[in-house]
Amino acid sequence: MNRDDKIAIVTGANSGVGYETTKGLLKNGFRVVMACRNLEKANSAREQILTEFPSSRLDVMTMDLSDFESIKTFAEAFKEKFSHLDILINNAGILLNKPKKNSAGIEMQFATNHLGHFLLTSLLLELMPDSKHSRIVSLSSVAHKNAEIFFDDIHCEAQTKWDTPYAQSKLACLIFADELQRKLTQSGKKIISVSAHPGGTDSGLFEQMPPFLMLILRYTFAPLFLHSIENAAKPILKATLDKDVVGGDYYGPTGLFEMKGPPGIAKRTKYSQREDVGNQLWKLSEEFIGSNFEVDAP
């Protein structure tokens, strides 16, 4: 494959923000790999996108982010097909209203939203050209502001709020992006790690909420605070494509409560910026995936 081809991966690209992010990348000349768990839904989404962008190069590859072996298989298949990777959008995410663990016994949201992307990034980083145009974009959420990493209760078994595991996982995504940037900087690499959040949008996550809460949010909260999925993708695309982006930046909507509005620098908690927490989370994540994530010098 021509090294001049711009290659991007978007996890969870078959719907919601990932779907719109994929279209935005295609508009900017990227060849995009849709990394999705459900092959049927992904192929359907691909066909729909190609009706709008018929000359675009759009691939579908299967990967279940809650399954570490599936991630390793995906990474090997990607390396066989592509010589390099310019953009990695760690987008896919789940929100559950009941406790659930993956096959390895790890809390499902932490496994999928954070650990899966941690492992995927570790396996693909070597393919990324050492350039400021190479970017890893990790998706967080405004939910991170009410969270902490429960290192002594990582599966949130002692927590009483139903959304605590989701908030913890999205905080982990933000912390991971920052810690990765620190390691990239220390190693002398020019690759950029940034984070972003979409604000408020009904991209399917409401379907996993308790039914009564879903109805309340959709008919009272949603009209006031949610924006379209197209607008929700703008902070992610800004983090991915803007030439002024600096490693460690965090983007999101800049309107009321960061739920909607033009994309710009987002607010984060002091806890999320603690390097000791970032270092501890990194080591814990390595333990979970069963391998070291080393960021080597160029």
Active site residues per annotation: 166
Phi-psi region of 204 (alpha: psi -120 to 50; beta: other; left: phi over 0): left
> Do residues 148 and 171 lie in contact, with contact meaning Cβ atoms separated by under 8 Å?
yes
d(C-alpha 239, C-alpha 197), whole Å: 10
State the Cα–Cα distance between residues 182 and 272, nearest whole angstrom.
14
- Select from 45, 118, 123, 116 the least CA-distant residue to 85: 123
In angstroms, the CA 284 to CA 97 distance is 25
Residue 155 phi, psi dihedral angles, 5° rounding: -90, 0
- Give the Å distances, CA to CA, from 103 to 66, 69, 157, 158, 275: 8, 11, 17, 21, 31
Output the CA torsion sign for 280, 286, 289, 294.
positive
Tokens found for residue 266: 């987002």
Q: Where are the beta strands (DSSP E) in the chain?
A: 7-11, 31-36, 58-62, 87-90, 135-139, 192-196, 250-253, 263-265
| Short-list 89, 83, 168, 75, CA closest to 122 | 75
Nearest Cα to 295, choosing from 133, 192, 187? 187
